[in-house]
Amino acid sequence: MSPRTLFRVVAVTEAITWTGLLAGMFLKYVPETTELGVQVFGPLHGIAFIAYSLVTVLVAVDQRWSRGRTLLGLASAIPPLMTVWFDRHVERQHGLHSAWHSREDSKSRARRSIAWLRAHGSLAALGFVAAVAGLTGVALLVGPPVG
């Protein structure tokens, strides 16, 4: 999967779960009919948020984004639906390519690691799931955001 496709899938997924959570919050707090939407989309959005953050860092390193672009990408997960805007923005700026740039002979340890992950796709996918699960577990231990 190309960095462009990977980033787009995760950005759209994060936005969809945000939309579900917003709908759930509306139903919970405005007509006060049900908490089901928050109970379902709250955890899903948390998982999507963590996945988006990890993929943003991975793609940022590979595509050689500046710190500012990387921070903007990470911050775009906070306001609702901004991940889709950021995806379009960075593509218009030619910051998302269809090819991975990281190579095993790179001088950067991070880029060599990305090349290794690409060469070991199944193991990388398993590691990604484990990282998302671990970070989700930490988030659950810390507790929900306080408003």
Q: Where do the domains of the chain lie? A: 3-142
Query: What pLDDT, on the 0 to 100 scale, is given for residue 75?
Result: 97
Q: Please write the tens of the pLDDT for every residue from 36-83.
A: 999 999 999 999 999 999 999 999 999 999 999 999 999 999 999 999
Distance CA 63, CA 48 (A): 21
Query: What pLDDT, on the 0 to 100 scale, is given for residue 96?
Result: 94
> Which residue shows structure tokens 């805007």?
85
Cα–Cα distances in angstroms (integers) from residue 92 to residues 1, 17, 87, 89, 96, in the given order: 20, 24, 9, 5, 9
48 is written with which tokens? 């999507």
